[in-house]
Amino acid sequence: MKQIIAIGGGGFGRVIKDLKIEKYIRSQSSKDNPKICFIPTATGDDSSYIENFYKAFDSLGCKTSHIDFFKRTINLRPHILDQDIIYVGGGNTKSMLAVWKEWELDIILNEAYENNIIMSGVSAGAICWFKKGITDSWKDSQATIDCLGFVDGICCPHYDEEPERIPYVKKILEANEISECYGIEGYAALHLIDNKPRYNVSFKKDTSCHHIFLVNNKVHHKNIDGTIEVDL
């Protein structure tokens, strides 16, 4: 079974508290002590972000590791393929993807996904799995960029958290630049199983994932069926 857990915003990168979404991700593995690898490329391998990852997932009984691209880099393929879960951090999506392609990590991650290793991540780490993603990698504007394409569709994180997001999605829908989009709010995650959106995972009250599309030239929002309110 292939799984992607795409988080719109929140989690250990902001605050280490109840770890609701982290517990949910961990629970998707059948292992007692699953191996989870953090890829913080989008922040330039920020040391405090890496430290928070270890604090969060070590406390959940995981076997933790991370990948550096701005220090000496390990042999990627055997390490990635030995994991149970991959977690990709937020930050600059465009720069992250450029580094990955230079190291052929995009190819290795696709092999891992096909081998049923769970893919997860927040913000940049949410949109990267889709065919396209909506990003603020540029300082003063939103943009739609090509991503890894493990699953079809376009993804927009921080849908309710950043004021530019909703107007940008509306604009590109009405201009017929896209036909649909998945908008993931902060403190919510879209759980895809075998390439299909299956669950809206809410880890804060009243947060959702939306399927956004045009009907008769009007923008419509439909909540993803199968809401899971996480209180682990």
Which residues are identified as catalytic?
A: 123, 158
Strand ordering across the sheet containing 188-193: 63-66, 35-39, 85-88, 118-122, 3-7, 188-193, 196-202, 227-229
171: tokens are 């604009």
107: tokens are 């190819």
Rounded Cα distance between 67 and 199, Å, is 29
The DSSP bridge pattern shows strands 3-7 and 118-122 to be parallel
Rounded Cα distance between 24 and 8, Å, is 15
Which stretches of 70-157 are assigned E, i.e. beta strand?
85-88, 118-122, 130-135, 143-146, 151-156
